[in-house]
Structures are given as structure tokens and as C-alpha cells.
Amino acid sequence: MDDTLLSLLRMVDTPTVCNAIEVAQGKRGFNAFTRGTVLASRPQAPAIVGYARTARIAAAAPSTEDPAIIRARRMDYYRHMASGPKPSLAVIEDLDFPNAVGAFWGEINANIHRGFGLSGVLTNGVMRDLGDVPDDFQMIAGSVGPSHAFVRVEDVGVDVTVFGMTVKNGDLVHADRHGALVVPPEIVPVLAEAIAKLQATERLIIDPAKSAGFDFETFEAAWAAFEAART
């Protein structure tokens, strides 16, 4: 992914990218996106885009593993997060979902991961410390809560499922306050063109709707042009 495409993807929202992927594919039916409602630590922030660094966590009950193993795995986790291609973002499955109670994401981990160069996190788990998280580190989570409970890392670099979307380590992910999606690799070379085509198509109906004198007849003509152009 070149810098031009990266800049574009940071400027557009996730619904735009979702529709643009269908434009690139020439059909409806793209389904590598999240289901349900997400919460964003900074709802007005731009989208986060990057190659997924994946892991799974749990927190509801104490672990039965040797504490030394848990500590070693956590260091493996941080080593994993600090490595890999950039741009990157963390994608973390909380195994306690939908009853997640332990916040892995707050002031400390946000600053650590930001320092590693990650742009944010997508997780079905819990976030906290919302007033103390860096402005340029977006957290998109399943809930907000006060406690870390018994939170620990369970697996690193594995396939994860968050809000019904499966993510492999290294997948290109786009996420914002609407949710997230995985960009199909074969779409990347034509994604910028597809976004431009989508936006031009949408203008066929949006511009008339915002113009003075918009009425049903104007709508009907604009909608016909829109329908003929869209995927």
C-alpha cells in the first residue's frame, strides 16, 4: 500500500470503503465487515488503517496457568505488536465477549502501542481511561468499563473474530466509529479508483438534493442517473 492510498483511506469513512470494495468487485455481497454496534474513544477521529496485529485475551476469571507463562506470553505479545509491516493496528478478540468485563485498553496500553507505531485498536473487549488516552490513538471497542479484572493475553498472532468479522494477522483493516472491514488483497491496486467512482456516483443524487428548487421531478431524474451508475 503506497502513501497516496494510505492518505486517502484515512480521509474516507469505513462505509465509503465498504461500498467502494463492491464497486471494485462489480457486484453486491462483500461481507468481511463487523456486525453490531461499536464504541469509539474519539468518534470524530479519522479512520484507522493498517495491517492487523492480532491476539486474544480473557479477563472474567483468574487463569490457572503458571504466572511465569502468563508474563512470558505478555512479553511475546508486546514483541509481536512492535514488529511487522507498517502502518499497523491491533485487532484483539476478548474471549469473554459478549460478557467482557476486563479492560485491556486504557492509558497505559494506548501509550505503549502508540509508541510502537500502531494507529489504534479494534477489539470486542473493554476500554477505559477515555480522558487520558492519546488523541492520535483510536480505540474501537465493544464496551466501556472501570476494571481490568483478571485480564491477560491468551494467544498471539492467531486468527481472531471481532463483532462477527474474522481477521488474520497481517490483513489490511479499515475501521472507524461505524465498525471495521478487511480489505481484500486483490482490491488494493484499484481501491483508490473505486473510491473516486463511488464518490462521483453519489454526487449524482446528493448535489441535486442540496440544490435550491429540489422537487420530486428533479429527484426522479437524478435517481435514474444514480441508479444507472451505481453498483
Phi, psi of 6 (to 5 degrees): -60, -45
Do residue 54 and residue 100 come from a single domain?
Answer: yes
CA atoms within 13 A on the CB side of 220: 3
What span, in angstroms and rounded, lies between the C-alpha atoms of 175 and 177? 7
> How far is CA 182 from its chain centroid?
8
Q: Is residue 208 part of a domain?
A: yes
Q: Is residue 7 part of a domain?
A: no
Q: Which residues pair with 183 in a beta bridge?
A: 172
pTM of the model: 0.95
Q: Is residue 66 part of a domain?
A: yes
Q: Is residue 21 part of a domain?
A: no
**pLDDT reported for residue 173:** 98
Do residue 114 and residue 83 come from a single domain?
Answer: yes
pLDDT in tens, the chain (231 residues): 899 999 999 999 999 999 999 999 999 999 999 999 999 999 999 999 999 999 999 999 999 999 999 999 999 999 999 999 999 999 999 999 999 999 999 999 999 999 999 999 999 999 999 999 999 999 999 999 999 999 999 999 999 999 999 999 999 999 999 999 999 999 999 999 999 999 999 999 999 999 999 999 999 999 999 999 987
Do residue 160 and residue 222 come from a single domain?
Answer: no
Query: Residue 216: which domain range?
Result: 190-229
Do residue 39 and residue 112 come from a single domain?
Answer: yes
Do residue 59 and residue 168 come from a single domain?
Answer: yes
Do residue 177 and residue 97 come from a single domain?
Answer: yes
